[in-house]
A and B are shown apart, each in its own frame.
Chain A
Amino acid sequence: AQTVTQSQPEMSVQEAETVTLSCTYDTSESDYYLFWYKQPPSRQMILVIRQEAYKQQNATENRFSVNFQKAAKSFSLKISDSQLGDAAMYFCAYRRYSGGGADGLTFGKGTHLIIQP
């Protein structure tokens, strides 16, 4: 079974600074997807960024980028120029690369990100 570990229960960063959230995972699969989701107090999970394991290039979405280290099974999220609206729970998630393209996600326990004004 796949597992996802987020070792930082809480992180705090000054507004406009950069913060990195850590995630490690365990799988015997060679092809899979990795995701970072944001969950504000409204409870709605919002996809921040995704990475296909077969791609060597790290994914970027505006101020969000990842550092994907496949051999180390590490997938960290970097948020640049942090904004107050970035405050939320962040979850790392894994999904295997199935033929049907529609498997359930395996989530970590989350990191609570606090933005200090």
Chain B
Amino acid sequence: GAGVSQTPSNKVTEKGKYVELRCDPISGHTALYWYRQSLGQGPEFLIYFQGTGAADDSGLPNDRFFAVRPEGSVSTLKIQRTERGDSAVYLCASSPHSSSGGSYNEQFFGPGTRLTVL
């Protein structure tokens, strides 16, 4: 079946512009995650959705970053007034969700969107 897809694959923008990055999770996966991977670093957690709601947005660096998932499937990460420091690969992952306590749910990652802010 289809995996997690992300569009665009690459995005170049100018400092101060607004950008949207899209994530299509695996069909039926209720949990969705966004991570940011800066050059030479491991991915850094940004936000986690369970269904339509953001269950944990503690990783968002500031109020220029915002994410939505209005119908509980596709998610969009929005960055306002982009800065050069926002340049990174933005990874999306999805997982099935079980209501049983402490159960393991593998996160399946997409190929990421490389954002370059000039």
Contacts and interface: CB of A to CB of B under 8 A. Distances in A.
Nearest to A93: B42
B111 A105 contact: no
A110 B41 CA distance: 7
Q: A interface, by DSSP: helix, strand, loop or mixed?
A: loop
Given A43-B111, A47-B106, A98-B102, A104 B33 contact: yes
Interface string A24-64: 00000001010000000011111100101000000000000
Interface string A89-117: 00101000111111111111110000000
Given A44-B109, A109-B42, A101 B56 contact: no
B105 A102 contact: yes
A109 B41 contact: yes
Contacts of A43: 89, 91, 111-112, 114
Interface residues of A, number: 27
Given A107-B43, A108-B42, A101 B109 contact: no
Contact of B100 (A44, A101, A109): A101
A105 B101 CA distance: 18
Q: How large is the interface on B (under 10, 10 to 19, 20 to 34, 35 or more residues)?
A: 20 to 34
A53 to B, nearest CB: 11
A91 B40 CA distance: 11
Interface of A: 4, 31, 33, 42-47, 50, 52, 91, 93, 97-110
Interface of B: 31, 33, 35, 40-45, 48, 50, 55-56, 59, 89, 91, 93, 95, 97-107, 109-112, 114
Q: Which 10 A-B pairs have the closest CB atoms?
A: A107-B42, A104-B45, A45-B109, A101-B103, A102-B31, A99-B101, A43-B112, A44-B111, A97-B102, A91-B42
